[in-house]
Structure 1
């Protein structure tokens, strides 16, 4: 076993031990603790926790990999991820908190009183959660195999066991504390290597690598897209739309707003969160640009493979070894690997909590015991799928989930909060058309091409948000306006509840 592998395994073990310590039993004592942390999470802590669970494998490893492989196409991902929370801040944060619901299906029942709509929402939320967990497990496999020399199944199993312990013993309250700390672990794990790598690169007139021969300006110019302008526009716009609107349908993010004390706190949470995301996303972008400078576009894949990596997703993990030698390389690689595992753990735990909450409310009477049974199901299915499938590019796989939630859930959630004329029939048809069209297009895109960047019309299948999301909105509105159904009789009361500011708690005590 090499020095790098030893330090990596130590770092991963330390992150797992910290997560287990933060998720120790005894933090949660009631059903409300398990589902929404008793709605007492302060904005700064909730913002750190949301950032912790939102910054997934795609953010930590995938963004730099896409910049290395596809240039400016990868830059749209951090822009879209952050912009999605601006929409949440403006349109969704406070109304969702005021709804008083535990889960997205609970919100749908509050708005529509439709059993069919609730069942459809359950299916979509659980499917989205499972689809999102799989890339986290793939990322754990990639990271631990590439840097720790472990078999491919070890990483996913380790993540699953640690997450299950935290979720089963403490539910949302324990997960919130762990995720808040894990955000700062991830930030440190990228910030320190970024500073040292930039200092090292700046000390050299040129990196002593065959693929690097030129100034920063020349290499940065190579980041720009080349080829069909329409394809570039279609690809970038579709990804940006999917990431922005997809955030409105992420169950593990939306459930977080139910943990705030009130709607004003939910808004403050989102404001702080956006600052935390901007601070973090500067780092993988910088490292992605440096990786492109180091390896160069033409030989990037081959160079990473020869250095022991598995894909472009290992670019950040392999960058210290390309710039440093000896102990410095080992320590920085171990720090990045530990941060990557914090990303896998925090995102997976958030997803497991949201899926298990839905399963518990729908099938297990909403009890703590049902929550724990739901958690077992929430992790077991993705673990089976993750170990049986080969990994896609992490950011590309997560973009597929965002496209699905943007098409299936975002129209119903956004219109459900802001449009009185929305009917249950319109919501059902919009959700069905959005889910089926996005999944069908992406499956065909995967079958006909490889990777997130494809020529011509095939790009509209690989990245279908450009037409799937507007289609879902149009179907929802048209069926609501011209279909036989009518808005529910209690719509005015629900809208008043969603948009009326709460009386501050201190006034209630007088």
Structure 2
């Protein structure tokens, strides 16, 4: 393995990403450009950007590693991560875009007319965003260590620096172009090596001719739901992945960038197609790893199977080139997801924690300060956390999102009975339970009983509990429904051509969005 080729490829990806971001800077002139790209992103570009930021370290490296180690049970990960967008398409995408909000806390305040709901939502956006940042930085450290032998912190800091440089100049406008570029680069980076691997496997007469490491007993691997507590773990994972995508702040914020609700739905359809095609590739790498690199399981390096396969099969320039291409794609995965997370967290920090005055320059300056804070805290948490497998760290982030914002969005959009007290209670209970499981897992608490099983996969308990808490809390406080809930529900569901008052959301005037164009503003 030639570290120089890999380092060169990573440098090229970083420079190309910054160049694309700098091009986007030419169009970033307003605060709206920084937060939601002035709501002018078309379906194809937005779908490419969503896919780029969604296909994270867990998708690029972790899925193949988990399939290598644990087999067919782990197919639920790519299935669930893709199917989550079907639920987004049906329940959330168009109404959320019609809300006119910039962030999830904006939506929470608009729907519940409560500052408390906004503050709790803001805290959860920051928590989920930082939790999701940890596996991105972990994956960057793993990639550079595997390919070059450099310490893990080098890759983590390198990603942090490039993310800052990509986000600071142009905000969402620049990030949209960078993430779209990253999706197609990641697809090429996985597709090209796997093509050569499959051709080599066929040409040389199968795995034995290429050079396997002995006979592998795959009996357990091909029998799903065969382990202890497998049924619970599987259904909990399904709940987390299916409903978690609906509540991920960095995913949801991208739907605010569409021109209207119809474009948001079209974007989601294109995302489903792009993700479905991409996720075939990590599965192939996991299966090939079973044939060609099963020793990585015993060595505890399953997350590196995508990075190591090309050099195990090919020598010379071809092996080095394919390894460098995979390394470049992996680095793009960390960059694209990290930039989306940083934009979502920085947007909330700048609106809710760093606001000191109005104005265009102030808004952009506070957004940039919040960007630096978000990246610095993410790196610090990565240094403090134990070495949790990349894909499992993402599973936990999905569990928190599914236990908090998924109930808020579904009930807030489709049930007018939701009250501020019910929403806050559900967010606190769901976030508290799932967050406790995350802390216990991240910092190495290990239990062998049922409590330990639930901690490792909490969604099957925390998601129904959060929904039930929101519904019960709202029923008990039905007399305190938001004053303008009827108008808000019409705003969320009426087609855009009716030309209702859909101006941009202003937190200081959260209850002014009345249906009638001449409504009095408070």
Identify the match of residue 350 of structure 2 among 354, 360, 373.
Answer: 360
Aligned residues: 489
Partner Cα separation in structure 2 for residue 257 and residue 65 of structure 1: 31
Cα offset for 1:368? Answer: 0.8
Identify the match of residue 375 of structure 1 among 371, 378, 384.
Answer: 371
Cα offset for 1:222? Answer: 3.5
For residue 477 of structure 1, what is the aligned residue in structure 2?
471
For residue 224 of structure 1, what is the aligned residue in structure 2?
223
Change (3 A) 1:457 1:71: farther
Q: Is the 8 A contact 1:26 1:169 kept in 2?
A: no
Identify the match of residue 460 of structure 1 among 454, 466, 473.
Answer: 454
Question: Does residue 1:319 correspond to 2:309, yes or no?
Answer: yes
The answer to which of 476-485 and 428-437 deviates more is 476-485
- Alignment of structure 1 residues 429-468 onto 2, 5 Å: 429-445=425-441, 447-449=444-446, 458-468=452-462
For residue 133 of structure 1, what is the aligned residue in structure 2?
133
Change (3 A) 1:300 1:152: closer
Cα offset for 1:486? Answer: 2.3
Change (3 A) 1:400 1:485: farther
Unaligned runs of 5+ in 1: 506-510
Partner Cα separation in structure 2 for residue 440 and residue 71 of structure 1: 28
Change (3 A) 1:192 1:235: same
Partner Cα separation in structure 1 for residue 139 and residue 109 of structure 2: 35
For residue 23 of structure 1, what is the aligned residue in structure 2?
21
For residue 418 of structure 1, what is the aligned residue in structure 2?
414
TM-score scaled by length of structure 1: 0.92
For residue 112 of structure 1, what is the aligned residue in structure 2?
112
For residue 189 of structure 2, what is the aligned residue in structure 1?
189
Partner Cα separation in structure 2 for residue 283 and residue 448 of structure 1: 33
Q: Is the 8 A contact 2:81 2:245 kept in 1?
A: yes
Cα offset for 1:232? Answer: 1.4
For residue 211 of structure 1, what is the aligned residue in structure 2?
213
Q: Is the 8 A contact 2:212 2:291 kept in 1?
A: no
Change (3 A) 1:485 1:359: farther
After superposition, give the CA deviation of every residue in 1:411-455 in whole Å (9 maximum; x if it has no partner). 1111001100001111011011101111223444564438xxx77
Cα offset for 1:387? Answer: 2.7
TM-score scaled by length of structure 2: 0.90
Cα offset for 1:144? Answer: 0.7
Identify the match of residue 491 of structure 2 among 460, 474, 497.
Answer: 497
For residue 386 of structure 1, what is the aligned residue in structure 2?
382
The answer to which of 41-50 and 365-374 deviates more is 365-374
The answer to which of 465-474 and 3-12 deviates more is 3-12
- Alignment of structure 1 residues 22-171 onto 2, 5 Å: 22-24=20-22, 25-171=25-171
- Alignment of structure 1 residues 225-374 onto 2, 5 Å: 225=224, 227-228=226-227, 231-296=229-294, 299-302=295-298, 305=299, 311-365=301-355, 367-374=363-370
After superposition, give the CA deviation of every residue in 1:323-343 in whole Å (9 maximum; x if it has no partner). 222222211111111000000
Partner Cα separation in structure 2 for residue 187 and residue 210 of structure 1: 27
For residue 508 of structure 1, what is the aligned residue in structure 2?
none
RMSD: 2.0
